[in-house]
Structure 1
Amino acid sequence: MKVMKYVFMTLATLLIASPVFAQTGADASSKGLFYIAAGIGMALAAGLCGLAQGKATASAAEAVARNPGARPAIFTFLILGLAFIESLALFTFVIIFLKVA
């Protein structure tokens, strides 16, 4: 019951605030929201890539602890995986940079 109260309060807030987004404003205000959205998007991409890198590193450390003989193969795939994960954040940065500039 308590969850439903929060759901309805959130819906009411969104429905009351929706006419604000329907208004047309000056270019400066719409660009300001665009910059904020770009910053939030980059923050999400960087944060989630950081979480993925932490998970990959923890898994690699656990794998080396279980089988130290497989260290070279695990290290190779770890570096490859970290490069792919980091490229996602860089692709997000490039896309945001191209759209904002």
Structure 2
Amino acid sequence: MRKLQYFFMAAAALLLASPVYAQEAANASSQGMLYIAAGLGMALAAGLCGLAQGKATASAAEALARNPGARPGIFTFLILGLAFIESLALFTFVIIFLKVK
């Protein structure tokens, strides 16, 4: 499993570095790639934030089932965690909004 992870990290690095070698052609096609990258970035951010929020909510529900007396503390940290998770998607949206014109 670890070797597969290293393989995909190396493949991603090689694929992201390939436009560097085509300096003149990059100016013509970089705008199209920017839109594709923006769409993929927002899709990744939204999807992973959704998974993280589901996991946080499930963990909070399990914690409440185990110890109902700790509801105020669990609720406070749940809301704080959900706000931080959602802010990651919003930061991605703002960066994309500023970069794509």
Same fold per TM (> 0.5)? Answer: yes
CA shift at 1:33, angstroms?
1.3
Partner of 1:3: none
Pair 1:85-2:85 in alignment: yes
User: Within 1, Cα distance between the matches of 2:46 and 2:93?
Assistant: 9
Counterpart for residue 53 of structure 2: 53
State the secondary structure of the residue aligned to 1:24: helix
Shift of 1:30: 2.4
Deviation at 1:25, TM superposition (A): 6.2
Give the root-mean-square deviation of aligned CA atoms.
Answer: 2.5
Larger C-alpha radius of gyration, 1 or 2?
1
Which runs of 5 or more structure 1 residues have no equivalent in the other structure?
Answer: 1-6
- In the superposition, the TM-score normalised over structure 2's length comes to 0.74
Q: TM-score, normalised by structure 1?
A: 0.74
Unaligned runs of 5+ in 2: 1-6
Residue type of the alignment partner of 2:82: L
The whole-number CA distance in structure 2 between the counterparts of 1:64 and 1:26 is: 55
Structure 1 residues 25 and 79, CA, compared in 2 at 3 Å: closer, same or farther? closer
Runs of 4+ off more than 4 Å: none
**May I ask how many residue pairs the two structures share in their alignment?**
87
